[in-house]
Amino acid sequence: MATIQRLVRTGSFPRPRQLSDRRVAWLVREIEEWAEGRPTSDLPPPLNTSKQKAAVSRQAHSED
């Protein structure tokens, strides 16, 4: 969350909306617009984020 707070302070990320005294939220469309404006990366995702590993793990547990 510290990264988001820093980006909001610098104006690089949409400001949250006040829901109550202690709660804030963002509008999905504002986050999507922000994300679509970000440059694409040439870096591949980290190896530890593979959904295939999770699916294989779930399958192994269901066979028990």
Give residue 57's pLDDT.
60
Per-domain boundaries in the chain: 1-38
Contacts of 27 (CB under 8 A, 6+ apart): 14, 17
Closest CA to 31 of 4, 64, 10: 4
Give residue 46's pLDDT.
82
Segment 31-48, tens digit of pLDDT: 999 999 999 999 988 887
Segment 10-19, tens digit of pLDDT: 999 999 999 9
Q: Can you give the pTM of this predicted structure?
A: 0.60
